[in-house]
Amino acid sequence: MTANGSTFYEPLSARDAWFLYAERPSTPLDLGTVYVFEGGSRVPGGRGALGIEETIRERIHLVPRYRQRILRAPMNLAHPVWVDDTNFDLGAHVRREVLPPPGDGAAVRKLVMRILSRPLDMRRPLWEVTIVTGLSNDRVVIVNRAHHAMVDGVSSVDIITLLLDTTEEIYVPEPPEAEWKPRPAPTRWQLIRPVLWNVGTQRKDERTMVPAVWSTTRVPWKSLFSLSGKMVSPRPDLFFNRRIGTQRSGRGLKVPLSAFKALKVQFGCTVNDAVLAVVSDGLHRWFKARGERVPEKVRVFCPVSVRGESPGRLGNQISGMVLELPTGDLTIEQRLRKIKVTTGDLKRTRQAVAADKLAGLADWAPPTLLVLAGRLMSNPQGGANINVTNVPGPQFPLYSGGAQLLEVWPFAPLYPSMGLGIAIVSYNGEAYFGLTADPGIVPDVEQFTAMLREAADECAALAAGPA
């Protein structure tokens, strides 16, 4: 969009802007992913993962958003906009870290959590890549961060794929037709003038017309009211639902994807149902091991992509389901069957669609109102106890500079009063669980990881046995 013949800006959607309004110093809302590459290159003369800065330089023109920053409107009278960063410097976004000896897994985790706990610089494009070397096995770790206002879990996979290749051979895209030159940003007056005067709307009926998507015949009102009721009703009071600080700790767990796929065949469930069964059983074991009161149910928010199959804009096109995981004294099979029924009911009542409609109300709310909503998200009395994000990834090996990508570890942001979060991504036959925690609230995230491992082993045994 051009404010006049010489300036450029692109407004954030209300849904994207909300992640900016909701962010606090203690809760950076960016998505973090850790990519583990083999050292060196399989191609003679290949740059390997160490050369990913050059790869970004060659391909950044394919993702214009990576050279754009946020510009806010005065007094939040309009949503922020994306503008070209006139001072863009790739070196400011690609950092390098060298682990001290012995370069073990504990040192990597400590460094990754330190990186993810630091908010991104809002004066620059909202992404960052850190190249980590010094590992004992000569592997190379890439820590990728992008703000939630910029991408959702699904599109972030699409964007990073631009930096990865499907074969060992190094792909070099066609260079841009012309050298990139940043376009001037609009003045703040130009940002709020359309809001004050409704400039650009040519007909009165366009200003008052309700979009067809909000037709009463299309909105699943029953599910909408049910979902909104869950989001504001009191949740179970769990020990990790407290005001969180700025520090982060994390652990990872790798589970063969074949076990979840086998359960899908045996029980007619989904892979996500099987993953949720592991989380449910792991929570039960953890509560019990800690000597905590074991709740019968834990309320979970599961983001769901509403992104279409055809290529579309970047940004957040996610909705979600709020469901109650059975965490009482049950077998893993009983949990799986209960979860299958619950998620099936939510799909039949179209709760994910209802959630999208509920989020779509943001498009009608004044930006100042959304700012207040972002501040209120820290209310510990409502919503979910924990977020569980599951993103399917490619089931074949990927490469960078001729070096194979070996592991992918996702880490979702923590939200106010949620001291624990779980993210799962599948890649090349494995499911990678990434756990993020506030160590002041959850000092034993390693124990929870061990409980998830036991639950995953039970799932694998169930998958290997008779139906």
Distance of CA 261 to the CA centre of its chain: 23
Least confident of 176-185, 206-215, 268-277: 206-215
Q: The pTM is what?
A: 0.84
Residue with tokens 């370069």: 103
Q: What are phi and psi of 384, to 5 degrees?
A: -100, 165
- The answer to whether domain 10-188 and domain 216-389+418-464 are alike in fold is yes
Quote the pLDDT of residue 19. 83
pLDDT, one tens digit per residue, over 397-439 is 999 999 999 999 999 889 888 999 999 999 999 999 999 999 9
172 compared with 427, residue with greater pLDDT: 427
Going by C-alpha positions, the residue among 295, 208, 256 that lies closest to residue 456 is 256
Quote the pLDDT of residue 222. 47
Please determine, for residue 466, whether its predicted confidence score (pLDDT) is greater than 70. no
Please determine, for residue 239, whether its predicted confidence score (pLDDT) is greater than 90. yes
pLDDT, one tens digit per residue, over 357-388 is 434 434 444 443 434 434 444 443 347 899 89
Distance of CA 11 to the CA centre of its chain: 21
- 257 with 326: CB under 8 angstroms? no
Please determine, for residue 54, whether its predicted confidence score (pLDDT) is greater than 70. yes
Q: What are phi and psi of 33, to 5 degrees?
A: -135, 135
The band of 198, judged by pLDDT with boundaries at 50, 70 and 90, is: low
Q: Is 342 left (phi over 0), alpha (psi -120 to 50) or beta?
A: alpha
Within 10 angstroms of residue 439's Cβ, the number of other Cβ atoms is: 15
Average pLDDT estimate for 276-284 = 97
Quote the pLDDT of residue 378. 43
459 compared with 377, residue with greater pLDDT: 459
Kind and range of the H or E run holding 388: strand 386-392
pLDDT, one tens digit per residue, over 286-326 is 999 999 999 999 999 887 543 444 444 444 444 567 889 99
435 compared with 464, residue with greater pLDDT: 435
Quote the pLDDT of residue 62. 86
Quote the pLDDT of residue 372. 40
Paired tokens of 393: 């990834």
The CATH architecture annotation of domain 216-389+418-464 reads: 2-Layer Sandwich (3.30)
Average pLDDT estimate for 1-18 = 77
Quote the pLDDT of residue 154. 42
Going by C-alpha positions, the residue among 410, 438, 407 that lies closest to residue 423 is 410
- Dihedral sign, CA of 442, 443, 449, 452? negative
No. of helices (H) and no. of strands (E), the chain: 13, 15
- Matching CATH number, 10-188, of 3.30.930.10, 3.30.70.920, 3.30.559.10, 3.30.360.10: 3.30.559.10
Percent of the chain with pLDDT over 90: 55
- 111 with 131: CB under 8 angstroms? no
Q: Show me where the domains of the chain are located.
A: 10-188, 216-389+418-464
Quote the pLDDT of residue 1. 63
Q: How many residues in the chain?
A: 467
pLDDT, one tens digit per residue, over 21-53 is 888 888 898 889 999 999 999 999 899 999 999
d(CA 391, CA 45): 34
d(CA 147, CA 149): 5
